[in-house]
Amino acid sequence: MTSFNDFALLAPLQKALAAEGYTKPTPIQAQAIPHCLAGRDLLGIAQTGTGKTAAFALPILHRLGKSGITRKPKTCRALILSPTRELASQIADSFRAYGKFMHLSIDVVFGGVPVGKQIKRLATGADILVATPGRLLDLIDQKALSLRDLEILVLDEADQMLDLGFIVPLKRIIPMLPKTRQSLFFSATMPKTIAGLADAFLTDPVKVAVTPVATTAERVTQGVMFVPVSAKQHLLATILRDPAIERVLVFSRTKHGADKVVKHLEREGIESAAIHGNKSQAQRERALGAFRAGSCRVLVATDIAARGIDVDGVTHVINYDLPNVAESYVHRIGRTARAGATGIAMAFCSNEERPYLRDIEKLTRLPIPVLALPEGFKVEAASFREPSAPRPNHAARPQNPARTDNRQGAPRDSKPGQDRPQQDRAMQDRGGPDRANQSRPRKRRRFSGGGNASAGRSAA
């Protein structure tokens, strides 16, 4: 499939696609849409950024628009379950954009906001309802909604659902679903637990898989700076002073950490906003709105809050903390490589985080080039214990790594078997001998910030 015309979608959908400027289906769309249109159940392995929302939204809009069934009060015809409020809003926005020349009602419900208005809206039913699992059950328990007339169910980001502890709500929802329905199930990863959950929802599904988690990383020019925790705030402020960093997502592992980063940046005169689970819905929307509009160029986020953030033109992602789950790193850096674009990702890695770095490199199968610290940036020697293999003096290197022009990365110069010994020990403790044997010689690498990932990885 090379064109949307091949799908023979309803005319209003084709018009909307033209208005969105979509000319060619993405791989997940090319693979999934024909099966979805044919009414098959689908198991899709795809992550955000691949165009998976349109892969399910377009056939849903087409099928609902074509069937001519009228929705009944307190029911929905298509239900999309999403793990987070941000992703739910994002999905609803996509449905509205693709369905703007149709007359289907699209609603979104999630927790953290009063339920009363949602109950009122659902009184007339919704053709398409996007919901987080907890609030959906609330509404069902309050008899504001029934799933008896459901025609199509989508479970999006199933792996994230499980990470967030939604397994119990999801299991409660299954018996409420009508036996005859179409089910579409999407997950970025497919470990056994997710496959088991998929079995419970799907009947004879077609399986499609695109962009394995490792390959997203290949589109992003990456670099890591070794820095003690105590110097991270200062390092971030130093890097953010570079105007080449136009729109940057900074990731913190914890909500508290994200707030601390924002406060510190404020003291340094750098405007930023935080988005995480302790913020009210209004605060999150305000922060995201300002970031999207470009009035706030720095958004500090936790992993969960960042799921579903779909903002074009994110030039940089900074991993202020490395995530303890390697897949999260790939999701994070994917924020700067939306819809096939390239981007730049930097990570700050303290001694304690080296095992996380190792896990990430193992997952992506790409060593992350080491970046020099910015010119003149001083790290208190006592506060940063280097690993036993000697490293070059990064601080002495002349260039600011945050610049998007020809940056010079410091080489990783350890010998095989000596590479990051502390980390390897930790890995051995956690993962057994095969992990410990992953040490390999490092090639000298350049960090090219111009978005050309392959150039960035060529051996010098």
Min separation Cβ 428 and ligand AMP, Å:
37
| Chain centroid, CA 448 distance in Å | 24
Spell out the alpha helix ranges (H) of 177-324. Answer: 192-201, 213-216, 229-240, 255-267, 281-293, 303-306
Burial annotation 232-260 (CB, 10 A radius, 16+ → b, else e): bbebbbbbbebeebebbbbbbbebebbbb
* Site mask for ligand AMP (CB under 6 A), range 54-93, x = bound: x---------------------------------------
Window contacting ligand AMP (CB under 6 A); options: 42-50, 105-113, 177-185, 269-277: 42-50
Among 35, 52, 331, 412, binds ligand AMP (CB under 6 A): 52
Under the binding rule (CB under 6 A), the answer on residue 310 touching ligand AMP is: yes
Among 12, 25, 125, 449, binds ligand AMP (CB under 6 A): 25
Among 35, 44, 50, 346, binds ligand AMP (CB under 6 A): 50
Beta bridge partners of 409: 371
* Site mask for ligand AMP (CB under 6 A), range 265-304, x = bound: ----------------------------------------
Among 8, 123, 339, 396, binds ligand AMP (CB under 6 A): 339
Under the binding rule (CB under 6 A), the answer on residue 53 touching ligand AMP is: yes
**Nearer residue to ligand AMP within complex by CB, 83 or 355:** 83
Q: What is the DSSP string of 323-385?
A: -SSHHHHHHHHGGGSGGG--EEEEEEE-GGGHHHHHHHHHHHT-PPPEEPPPTT----GGG--
Interface with ligand AMP: number of residues (CB under 6 A)? 15
Burial annotation 63-95 (CB, 10 A radius, 16+ → b, else e): bbbeeeeebeebbbbbbbbbbbbbbbbbbbebb
Q: What is the DSSP string of 113-154?
A: S-SHHHHHHHTT-EEEEEE-HHHHHHHHHTTS-B-TT--EEE
Min separation Cβ 28 and ligand AMP, Å:
8
Q: Are 78 and 245 in contact (CB under 8 A)?
A: no
Under the binding rule (CB under 6 A), the answer on residue 48 touching ligand AMP is: yes
Among 44, 51, 228, 323, binds ligand AMP (CB under 6 A): 51
Among 26, 84, 328, 414, binds ligand AMP (CB under 6 A): 26
Min separation Cβ 388 and ligand AMP, Å:
43
DSSP state of 393: -
How many CB atoms within 10 Å of residue 119? 17
Min separation Cβ 401 and ligand AMP, Å:
28
**Nearer residue to ligand AMP within complex by CB, 300 or 337:** 337
The site for ligand AMP (CB under 6 A) is made up of 22, 24-26, 29, 48-54, 310, 338-339
